[in-house]
Amino acid sequence: MSNRTIPRLLQTPAVLLLLFWMLVPLGMTLFFSFIRYFLNNTRRPEWTSPSIDNWRGFGNYQYVWNQDAFWLAIQNSLLIVCSILFLTVALGIAIAVLINRSFPGRGIVRVLLISPFFVMPAVNAVLWINMLLDPVLGLQGIAVANINDVILGLRDAPLVGGFFSLWPKFEPISFRATQTSAYAVIMMVTWQWTPFAVLIFMTSLQSEDQQQKEAAVLDGAGAWSQFRFLTLPHLGRPIAIVVMIQAIFHLSLYAEIEIVSRGNGNKNLPYYIGELVNNNIGAASATGIFAVILANIVAIFLLRMVGKTLME
């Protein structure tokens, strides 16, 4: 056996499995996207089974392209993913710097901070939308009601009463509404994934060159310029990793969207496809192909960013 045979053999199972996992469903999706295929259609029963006779060409693509809901879904996907990425990276860096030095109870702080990362998405969504954000029964509702009560009480107080009587009565926000449901999703996913960013940044900060920092201090560098010119460049690679891994996970968010508002106002691309799959398989598949194209655009960008560092 030649030198190269054994390494190839060792890689074969993984490569074949992933190839199969990718190509078979993708091939079927591609086929379905070019035919008329409905699960229920009493008027045209021949469309209820996948057959080459129902060829529709690019009709499904055209149909989806002209749907407002499709563009709204893309817009929502990008809004949700970009917001989460920005928030987790910013919060992650801030918290990692905050806990980088040792202080009493640092171990416990770390354990508390990392906990949300282990919570399953379904529980995360149920917990946030019901018990924390509900405008009446959740903590938000209770907090707003209490603040209103306090303000009401202060209106009769001497001196400051006049000031507080000018205050409006606060209204709790309903996070199941069309305008706000995307923010509920962003909030809960940020809560869950910030710990992941913290973990990676924290590990990276520990390998930071302390001598370089001391030299910078001797040169009179302040805390901000140390952070800006030493710490932030040092975190470049970890940021790339955090962005990439999270993009992989958040482009396919589903459970949170479903639980918060059943897609009302926060429908992303996977959810839109999920709705189409209930009947119009052709259009769902065409949307799926669009989603694959979108994911590939993102992937090329992200993999370039990470690929450079991979083989070093």
Partner 1 sequence: MAIVAQHSKFSKIAMPVLAWVVALIFFFPIFYMLLTSFKTDADAVKPEFLFSFTPTLENYTNMTDNYDYWRFASNSVITSVSATIFALVVGVPCAYAMAFDPSRGTKDILMWMLSTKMLPAAAVLYPMIFLTKSIGLFDTHFLVIMVLSLINLPIVIWMLFTYFKDIPKDIIEAGKMDGLNTWGEIKEILIPLAWGGIASTALLTFIFCWNEAYWTVRLTTIDAATLSKLIEGNRAPEGLFFGRLSAVSTAAVGPIVVLGWFCQKQLVQGLTFGAVK
Q: Using CB under 8 A, which residues numbered 267 to 296 contact partner 1?
A: 269-271, 273-274, 277, 281, 284-285, 287-289, 291-292, 294-296
In the list 64, 95, 144, 184, the residue contacting partner 1 (rule: CB under 8 A) is 95
Q: How far is the CB of 87 from partner 1 (least distance, A)?
A: 13
How far are the Cα atoms of 93, 94, 210 from residue 217, in angstroms, in the given order?
21, 21, 10
Q: Are 280 and 38 within 8 A, CB to CB?
A: yes
Helix (H) or strand (E) holding 166: none
With CB under 8 A as the contact rule, which of the stretches 7-15, 57-65, 79-87, 177-185 interacts with partner 1?
7-15
Q: How far is the CB of 255 from partner 1 (least distance, A)?
A: 4
* Residue 25 binds partner 1, judged by CB under 8 A: yes
Residues 39-68 that bind partner 1 (CB under 8 A): none
Number of residues in contact with partner 1 under rule CB under 8 A: 109
Can you tell me the distance from the alpha carbon of 293 to that of 116, in angstroms, rounded to the nearest whole number? 32
* Residue 29 binds partner 1, judged by CB under 8 A: yes
Q: How far is the CB of 179 from partner 1 (least distance, A)?
A: 18
At residue 178, φ and ψ (nearest 5 deg) are -55, -40
Residues 198-257 that bind partner 1 (CB under 8 A): 199-200, 202-204, 207, 210, 213-214, 217-218, 237-238, 240-241, 245, 247-248, 251-252, 254-255
* Residue 120 binds partner 1, judged by CB under 8 A: yes
Q: Are 99 and 203 within 8 A, CB to CB?
A: no
Q: How far is the CB of 195 from partner 1 (least distance, A)?
A: 7
Q: With the CA atoms of 237, 243, 248 and 253 taken in that order, what torsion angle do they form, in degrees rounded to the nearest 10?
A: 160
Provide the token pair at 173: 């926000």
Residues 138-167 that bind partner 1 (CB under 8 A): 139, 142, 145-146
Q: Which bin fits 291, alpha (ψ -120 to 50), beta or left (φ > 0)? A: alpha
Can you tell me the distance from the alpha carbon of 252 to that of 247, in angstroms, rounded to the nearest whole number? 9
